[in-house]
Amino acid sequence: MTEALIVIDMQNDFCPGGALGVPEGDSLVAAINARMADFGAVVVTQDWHPAGHASFASSHPGAKPMDVMEMPYGPQILWPDHCVQGSAGARLHADLNADRADMILRKGYNPALDSYSAFFENDHRTPTGLHGYLQTRGITEITLVGLALDFCVNFSAVDAAQLGYDVRVEAALCRGIDAHGSMDAALAGMRAAGVTLV
């Protein structure tokens, strides 16, 4: 059992009607549930922001969603308030088989630092703990699915490849946001990192 499925951020706020809804995001749930049966290990991630998070446009007077702001760790797209801890929007999609997850990893809870990747916060140095968990499980191969392809899936895939995992992204089980040309950049970046796009 060396393979893990990592299901990225299948949460209400990233589905249609949510604060940062990804078109057709909810259409993936049934197929992701079915895919879980093919893996000995399943990890589900969950964006988990405190109110007033630094990545929210509402935290910066005069800013609006999708503006880009320079943060101490680099450029940050400012988002609508989303996945606020304990909110309905932060909950995993009701139809997602979360009971199948061996681990649910919450990320983005540092109020000053966003966390797209399941492995590192956006400073690219602060670990989430997922790498250590997978190592103790003997996992060497990772398949990623979920939301959004050009942000959290992308950053997670690239970090996993750089950590030495054999990484696959099943693009048919992902959907993207495509802000500021992020989709093309993400696909090119994943390929350059050695990620297999299926």
Catalytic residues: 9, 107, 152
Phi/psi at 4 (5° precision): -130, 145
CB atoms < 10 A from the CB of 96, how many?
Answer: 22
Is 51:84 a contact under the CB 8 Å cutoff? yes
Q: For residues 84 and 87, give the distance between their C-alpha atoms in angstroms, rounded to a whole number.
A: 6
Q: Strand pairing of 68-71 and 74-77?
A: antiparallel
Q: Give CB contacts under 8 A, 24+ apart, made by 130-133.
A: 130/43, 130/103, 130/105, 131/163, 133/43, 133/103
d(CA 118, CA 72): 20
